[in-house]
Amino acid sequence: MADGDRNRVLRELRRSRIAVIGLGVSNQALLRFLLARGVRHVAAGDAKTQDSLGPAAGWLASLPITLRLGPGYLDILEDADIVFLTPGIRKHLPEITAARDRGARLSSEIGLLLELCRARTVGITGSAGKTTTTLLVGDMLARSGRKVFVGGNIGTPLIDRCLEFTADETIVLELSSFQLQLVDRSPNVAAVLNVSPNHLDVHRDYDDYLAAKKTIYRYQRPGDWVVLGADNAETFRMAQERAAAYRELGNDGSSGDDDGLLDGNGRPRDGGRGNLAPADGGPGLALFGKAEPPGSLAGTDVPYRAWVDGDHLVVTTAGSPAPVALCPTAGVRLRGNHNLLNIMAAALMTVLAGGRLDAASQVATTFQTVEHRLEPAGELDGVTFINDSIGTAPDRTEVALASFPAPIHLILGGYDKKIPFDGLGEIVVECGKVRRVVLLGETAPKIRRAIEAAASLAAGRGPNGRIPGPRGADPHSRDSSPHGPESPGPPPMVEVSSIEEAVREAFAGAEPGTTVLLSPACASFDMFPNYEVRGAAFKEAVRALMAKREPGA
């Protein structure tokens, strides 16, 4: 952003009445930023009371702001000119809708960061894989010699420093649908990894959720780039929509302007700006998938692509249309085929943001597990415990189940995000791996019914309840039925009331070689503040179980 535009935004903030709704970590940072920049008419509110806010309550009370906590906190919207909403709040609440109808502008901490920041920006969203891919891009760019800052939905809020960033620095942001629903700027390099139903407890409906995801590239300009998954139906549809608006490029990916925007390796010299000029002012397009993505969509070249070619991940660029090996699949340390997709997406974003492909290759083969994502949590009597607390939706649980062999004892359940569990029931029954299910949280009865319904449906298909070609099962295995060769019913299920009890029940009857997998398919908010706390509690419960089995314990 030009200095004149930044100064205009800051002047608007200083002369406006500001309301900050929600007082979590990101909006606390926003308050610090606003007050440090001379903004004086600030009101802040949260549904939590002073006691439930904890240590932050004292600090908030010391600020020169109007503070409203607990019932009636949305009353501060009545005379607001600009409203900064916390991620996760329903933007369709009547009080928020009324404020917007009165002319108030809705924004967010991330929206202001994108509006004021001089640095190149890379943004990653998707229903799954955001954090891992964001960290991969950060590491790949750092290995390329770039000065990189990682934030957004992970790490420390960056709004405090947004005026300090320079044009030769790069910010890599994990962006949730909650954060995206209020932005009117898009990152220079954006990615939508995948989309499946999620967070329908906050979004009005699935279309609202999908629209929020599309915001990550909606406001891009000529020379910006969007990286999309070719294997996911929704993201490939996005690619088709975008490609239909682009003009066709030559094989070298240039815009026809002899301005040297590509270097000798086919990388954009200024980090992904300028070498592609779509007819509608939209972004350039890059695709990744397990199979080779199309090199052209709607008559538009797609020079930047990545896929699995035999036993290697390969990449093409505008300067190198022939596939170049990124790394051998056997060299990837992250577990699961889904992480191959994350690595390919990260490599494309790295190159488009001005990084080096060789640096991306190095990170691809050295990057290890991110906490709470298929994380080993211990082993006892030949039974392996896996913490996948990030598994907050059924599609994540399906990925987790595909990452481990049978037998699996699966821990499911948690906060109800109003998403259906029919597909989850089919996954549990049809994957051919789950031998026991432990259910906890408010969704336990719904998940039990979904699994029972799927098993009942499966019992009517094929002899002895076998399902022809079960998803995820090995057709050559002697035990490719849902949970044992002779049982057409659902796997044994038990409901529990705590994570400690869940670990004990999942371990009960587990034979050597069994994986006890926490991948709940639900958020944690009914029992824990977030998935990180849930994952930590799971690991502590595993440690406690192991300690009881130690000699002399």
Residue 353's CATH number: 3.40.1190.10
Residues forming beta bridges with residue 128, ordered by sequence position: none
Predicted model pTM: 0.73
Examine the domain organization and report whether 191 and 303 are in the same domain. Answer: yes
* Strand pairing category for 320-328 and 375-380: unpaired
Q: Which residue has the higher pLDDT, 550 or 436?
A: 436
Name the band, by pLDDT with cuts 50, 70 and 90, for residue 253.
Answer: very low
Domain boundary residue, one of 85, 107, 129? 107
Residue 278 has pLDDT above 90, yes or no: no
3-class SS of residue 121: strand
The angle, 0 to 180 degrees and rounded to 10, between the axes of the packed helices 25-36 and 109-116 is 50
Q: Are residues 339 and 270 in the same domain?
A: yes
21, 132: one domain = no
Q: Taking a C-beta distance cutoff of 8 angstroms, is the pair 84, 110 a contact?
A: no
d(CA 80, CA 99): 7
Length of the chain: 553
Q: pLDDT tens-digit profile of 479-497?
A: 333 444 444 579 999 999 9
Written in H, E and C, the secondary structure of 402-413 is HCCCCCEEEEEC
464 shares its domain with 511: yes
What pLDDT was estimated at residue 246? 64
Whether the ω angle into residue 197 lies within 30 degrees of 0, i.e. cis, is: no
Classify residue 552 as exposed, middle or buried by CB count within 10 Å of its CB (0-12, 13-18, 19+). exposed
- Express as a percent the part of the chain with pLDDT over 90: 68
State residue 287's pLDDT score.
Answer: 98
Kindly report the number of other CB atoms within 10 A of residue 469's CB atom. Answer: 10
Residue 370: inside a domain: no
**Token output for 148:** 């990189």
Residue 7 has pLDDT above 70, yes or no: yes
Q: Give domain status of residue 252, yes or no.
A: yes
* Mean pLDDT, range 315-342, rounded to an integer: 93
Residue among 529, 546, 192, 226 nearest 342 (CA) = 192
| Residues above pLDDT 70, as percent of the chain | 86
417-440 average pLDDT score: 93
Residue 69 has pLDDT above 50, yes or no: yes
pLDDT at residue 477 tops 80: no
CB 230 within 8 A of CB 293: yes
Q: Are 125 and 216 in contact (CB under 8 A)?
A: yes
The rounded radius of gyration (Å) of the Cα atoms in the chain is 25
Do 417 and 321 share a structural domain? Answer: no
Other C-beta atoms closer than 10 Å to the C-beta of 57 total 18
The dihedral through the CA atoms of 146, 149, 151, 152 has a sign that is negative
- Show Cβ contacts of residue 227 under 8 Å, excluding neighbours closer than 6 positions: 189, 190, 191, 192, 286, 287, 288, 304, 345, 348, 349, 352
CA distance 150 to 146: 12
- 505 with 416, same domain: the answer is yes
pLDDT at 202: 62
Q: DSSP string of 310-378?
A: TTEEEEEETTEEEEEEEEEGGG--S-SHHHHHHHHHHHHHHHHTT--HHHHHHHHTT--PPTTSSEEEE
What mean pLDDT, rounded, does the chain reach? 86
Domain boundary (299, 332, 364) is at: 364
**Which residues does residue 411 pair with via DSSP β-bridges, in sequence order?**
438, 518
Q: Is residue 553 part of a domain?
A: no
The answer as to whether 60 is a domain residue is: yes
CATH at 100: 3.40.50.720
**Which range marks the domain in which residue 419 is found?**
375-548
* Encoded amino acid at 255, one letter: S
For residues 418 and 348, state if they share a domain.
Answer: no
Within a domain: residue 503?
yes
Task: Tell me: do 392 and 490 sit in the same domain.
Answer: yes
d(CA 107, CA 105): 6
Q: Find the CATH number of the domain harbouring 463.
A: 3.90.190.20
Tell me whether residue 369 is in a domain. no
What is the spatial distance between Cα 217 and Cα 345, in angstroms, rounded to a whole number? 15
Q: What is the pLDDT of residue 471?
A: 39
State residue 199's pLDDT score: 56
pLDDT at 200: 61
User: In this structure, what DSSP letter does residue 380 have?
Assistant: E
333: in domain: yes
Whether 225 is in a domain gets the answer yes
Residues 116 and 91 placed together within one structural domain of the fold = no
Whether 19 and 82 have beta carbons less than 8 Å apart is answered as: yes
Q: Residue 244: its pLDDT value, please?
A: 83
Domain finish residue from 323, 344, 364: 364
152 and 80, same structural domain? no
Single-letter residue type at 458: A
**Do the Cβ atoms of 311 and 278 come closer than 8 Å?**
no
Specify whether the CB–CB gap between 346 and 136 falls below 8 A: yes
Residue-wise pLDDT for 495-531, tens only, equals 999 999 999 999 998 999 999 999 999 999 999 999 9
pLDDT at position 198, please?
Answer: 62
Please state, in angstroms and as integers, the Cα–Cα distance from residue 460 to each residue in 428, 452, 468, 487, following that order.
17, 13, 11, 13
Considering the domain architecture, whether residues 279 and 396 belong to the same structural domain is answered as no
Q: What is the pLDDT of residues 200-212, one digit of tens each?
A: 666 567 888 888 8
* Domain count of the fold of the chain: 3
C-alpha dist (Å) from residue 305 to 123, 282, 326, 348, 380: 18, 18, 12, 7, 43
Looking at the fold, whether 94 and 145 belong to one and the same domain comes out as no
Report yes or no: 194 and 129 within 8 Å, Cβ to Cβ.
Answer: yes
Q: Exposed, middle or buried, 335 (CB in 10 Å: 0-12/13-18/19+)?
A: middle
Model confidence at 469: pLDDT above 70: no
